[in-house]
Chains A and B, each alone.
Chain A
Amino acid sequence: MSKITIPLGPQHPALKEPGNFMLVLEGEQIVGATVRLGYNHRGIEKACEDRSFIQNLYLIERVCGICSHSHTTCFCMATEDAAKIEVPKRAQAIRVLVGELERVHSHLLWLGVAGHEIGFDTLFMYAWKDREQVLDCLEMISGNRVHYAINTIGGVRRDVTPEQKAEILKRMDILEERTKYYIQLATQEPTVLARAKGVGHLPTEEAKKRGAVGPTVRASNVPFDVRKDDPYLLYDELDFKVITSDSCDVFGRLVVRVFELLESFKLIRQVVNDLPEGPISVKVPRKLPAGEGVGHYEAPRGEDIHYVRTNGTEKPERVKVRAPTLANFSSIAYMLEGGYLADAPIVIAAIDPCFSCTDRALSISTSTKGEYSLSWEDLRKLGIEFYRSRGIDFTRIAK
């Protein structure tokens, strides 16, 4: 049979973000795959060199829309190491708390997306409905659903009140119950098993060799978790398990994530019940002394690493961001090969890719048109006009 090469992406290969996969097919089977990235490169690293540390926090937060707290914490830890700043215990605890709530939100989001990719939309709707519980907690603590802006250099910006603590604990109980249902579903539901077992195989040795991280490598039976292996914040004082699976496929990645939810609830309860007293931040000068630091963090998708070099001014000399998805891309090509075309979306989705994080860095758009804003009505008109000029008329149905 002759081979054909088809492009999957850059538009919507699995998730709603751009990435391109060139798949070489022999019939329905994938015999070769190459990955092309860079569509979301936004110039964040370069832009960081032009901004103060505080401004950078807000920029770094926007590296990713899902693990925003992971990136700011990682950046703060690197900067604090560089400038030799001690962060108060209470602030560290609040960072852990928000970090674990974020992990819960991210894993539930993934669970929904995975359900959607395998054509099991009921799971998608259930998971996203439950995710609202944790988003409400985050909104309550920080005022925001996704970009929490809780971190600052030297601590956190908001404290947690006793009422908030009680509310978080209440919602964790609800979520724990739901998670038990998901565990049952992930391990017993025939639809899930049929689509996940044996799909996207990544043997232990291959995962190690290719430097995979996060739930992807843990599902290949490698117990690599930065929270245990390079403990930061309060993690060496907290009790939790590193979840692994030896099935080395999409099923394993599903199992690892749902069981990790339980560990996160455990961590959240420990932090909330035993929140250290004291200040939530220390005062940090605007100009930081010259130095360097590496932030190492276990984001929901895996190991996140930031390198920050300071030069005695109020702006950093260099900020480097390596998000977990980039480390996992080398494994994707391997996982796709030998599989079927129909499984490609779930195999790609199973690493929980986040292209925005991965591509961080170029093309800064400075519009020549100046700033202007559109009302909802204007925007609607603009859309109708745009399509009409291309021969599609919505006027009749858009009344």
Chain B
Amino acid sequence: MTEGRTEEAIKEKLEGRFGTNLSNWIVQRTRRMYVELPREALVEVVQFAKEELGFDHLSTITGLDAGEHLELIYHLFAKGLLLLNLKTKLPLSDPKVRTITHLFPGAEPYERELEDMLGATVEGLPPGRHYPLPEDFPPGQHPLRKSWKVSDAYPQEV
């Protein structure tokens, strides 16, 4: 397929359906596209991408502490098409997001990781054990927050 055509087609379809909810499109190169969306629209967009556009593989979810908010990036892949990176922001005061495990059961460890490592709250995630932190890790501490230090959890080690 001609360079850039697939990217444009996917972008058009997503925009046609969700319009102004989507912002800051970046087509970085062939098969790499980034877009931002509000967290309220996230589940619907993921569902649409999966069911209508063929993004049937969730590669992973990246979470990061961006200062005033947490940023989540859902990396969706459609074989032979492109890697779509959906970004959404969660305010630190209320870091909630809905689960996508009903669409991608394999997302469970990725979502648990967001809860453990960044302190996001994933609503609708079935109760279960921690991943990847140990059960006796001090509650309320999230290692991937920029303010976290090893000494917070292990004072004796430093």
Please indicate whether A and B come from the same complex rather than being unrelated chains: yes
CA distance A329 to B132 in the complex (A): 13
Q: How large is the interface on A (under 10, 10 to 19, 20 to 34, 35 or more residues)?
A: 35 or more
Q: How many residues of B contact A (CB 8 A)?
A: 44
Say if the beta carbon of B95 comes within 8 Å of chain A. Answer: no
Evaluate contact between A230 and B77: CB separation under 8 angstroms: yes
CA distance A41 to B133 in the complex (A): 8
Evaluate contact between B131 and A320: CB separation under 8 angstroms: no
In the complex formed, the residue of B with least CB distance to A228 is B80
CA distance A123 to B123 in the complex (A): 48
Most chain B C-beta atoms within 10 Å of own C-beta, residue among A81, A292, A293, A329? A292
Q: In A354-385, which residues have CB < 8 Å from any B CB?
A: 359, 361-368
In the complex formed, the residue of A with least CB distance to B107 is A211
Instruction: Pick from A45, A209, A229: contact of B105, CB below 8 A.
Output: A209
Say if the beta carbon of B1 comes within 8 Å of chain A. Answer: no
Main secondary structure of the interface of A (DSSP, over half): mixed
CA distance A224 to B106 in the complex (A): 16
In the complex formed, the residue of B with least CB distance to A363 is B154
Contact with A along B114-158 (1 / 0, CB 8 A): 000100000000000111111000000001101010100010111
Evaluate contact between A330 and B105: CB separation under 8 angstroms: yes
Contact with B along A34-57 (1 / 0, CB 8 A): 001110010101100100000000
B residues less than 8 Å from A67 (CB atoms): none
Say if the beta carbon of A147 comes within 8 Å of chain B. Answer: no
A residues less than 8 Å from B34 (CB atoms): 292
Evaluate contact between A361 and B117: CB separation under 8 angstroms: yes
Say if the beta carbon of B47 comes within 8 Å of chain A. Answer: no
Say if the beta carbon of A105 comes within 8 Å of chain B. Answer: no
Q: Which of A94-102, A128-136, A280-288, A303-311 contacts B (4 or more CB under 8 A)?
A: A303-311
A residues less than 8 Å from B58 (CB atoms): 211
A residues less than 8 Å from B80 (CB atoms): 228-229
Evaluate contact between B158 and A362: CB separation under 8 angstroms: no
Say if the beta carbon of A314 comes within 8 Å of chain B. Answer: no
Evaluate contact between A38 and B57: CB separation under 8 angstroms: no
CA distance A188 to B117 in the complex (A): 48
Say if the beta carbon of A208 comes within 8 Å of chain B. Answer: yes
Q: How many A-B residue pairs have CB under 8 A?
A: 105
Q: A305-B59, A363-B154 are in contact. Are A317 and B105 (CB under 8 A)?
A: no
Say if the beta carbon of A218 comes within 8 Å of chain B. Answer: no
Evaluate contact between B77 and A368: CB separation under 8 angstroms: no
B residues less than 8 Å from A81 (CB atoms): 28-29, 32
Evaluate contact between B105 and A210: CB separation under 8 angstroms: yes
CA distance A293 to B26 in the complex (A): 11
Evaluate contact between B131 and A294: CB separation under 8 angstroms: no
A residues less than 8 Å from B107 (CB atoms): 211
Q: How far is the CB of B138 from chain A (nearest CB, A)?
A: 12
Say if the beta carbon of B60 comes within 8 Å of chain A. Answer: yes
Say if the beta carbon of A326 comes within 8 Å of chain B. Answer: yes
Say if the beta carbon of A318 comes within 8 Å of chain B. Answer: yes
Evaluate contact between A366 and B32: CB separation under 8 angstroms: no
Instruction: Pick from B56, B60, B129, B146: contact of A320, CB below 8 A.
Output: B60
Evaluate contact between B158 and A366: CB separation under 8 angstroms: yes
CA distance A367 to B158 in the complex (A): 8
Q: A41-B133, A318-B64, A329-B109 are in contact. Are A364 and B75 (CB under 8 A)?
A: no
Q: Could you list 6 further interchain pairs (A-B, Cβ under 8 angstroms) beyond the known A293-B28, A307-B73?
A: A46-B148, A229-B77, A294-B32, A327-B59, A330-B109, A361-B144
21 residue pairs of the A-B complex, CB under 8 angstroms, read A37-B132, A38-B132, A41-B133, A46-B144, A49-B146, A208-B56, A211-B58, A212-B106, A230-B77, A293-B32, A296-B77, A307-B75, A320-B62, A322-B59, A322-B60, A326-B110, A327-B60, A329-B109, A330-B109, A359-B132, A362-B132
Taking Cβ atoms with an 8 Å cutoff, the residues of A that contact B are 36-38, 41, 43, 45-46, 49, 81, 208-212, 224, 228-230, 292-294, 296, 303, 305, 307, 309, 317-318, 320, 322, 326-327, 329-330, 359, 361-368
Which 5 A-B residue pairings sit nearest by Cβ, starting from the closest? A211-B106, A322-B60, A38-B132, A320-B62, A318-B64
